[in-house]
Chain A
Amino acid sequence: DGGITQSPKYLFRKEGQNVTLSCEQNLNHDAMYWYRQDPGQGLRLIYYSQIVNDFQKGDIAEGYSVSREKKESFPLTVTSAQKNPTAFYLCASSLGYEQFFGPGTRLTVL
Chain B
Amino acid sequence: AQSVTQPDIHITVSEGASLELRCNYSYGATPYLFWYVQSPGQGLQLLLKYFSGDTLVQGIKGFEAEFKRSQSSFNLRKPSVHWSDAAEYFCAVAADQDSGYALNFGKGTSLLVTP
- From the candidates A4, A43, A96, A102, name the one contacting B103 in the complex (CB within 8 A): A43
Contacts of B43 in A (CB 8 A): 4, 6, 90, 101-104
Binary interface profile of A, 78-110, with partner B (CB < 8 Å = 1, else 0)? 000000000010101010111111111010000
Would you call B32 an interface residue if the criterion is a C-beta within 8 Å of the partner chain's C-beta atoms? yes
Interface size class of B (residues with CB under 8 A): 20 to 34
Would you call B42 an interface residue if the criterion is a C-beta within 8 Å of the partner chain's C-beta atoms? yes
Number of A-B contacts (CB under 8 A): 62
Are B102 and A42 within 8 A (Cβ)?
Answer: no
> Residues of A within 8 Å of B, CB-based: how many?
30
Are A101 and B9 within 8 A (Cβ)?
Answer: no
- From the candidates B32, B36, B45, B102, name the one contacting A48 in the complex (CB within 8 A): B102
Contacts of A96 in B (CB 8 A): 101
Contacts of B105 in A (CB 8 A): 35, 42-44
* Chain A residue, CB-CB nearest to B104: A45
- From the candidates B90, B101, B107, B108, name the one contacting A94 in the complex (CB within 8 A): B101
Q: How far is the CA of A104 from the CA of B9 in the complex (A)?
A: 22
Are B51 and A97 within 8 A (Cβ)?
Answer: yes
Given A94-B101, A97-B101, decide whether A104 and B94 contact each other with a Cβ distance below 8 A.
Answer: no
Contacts of A106 in B (CB 8 A): 41
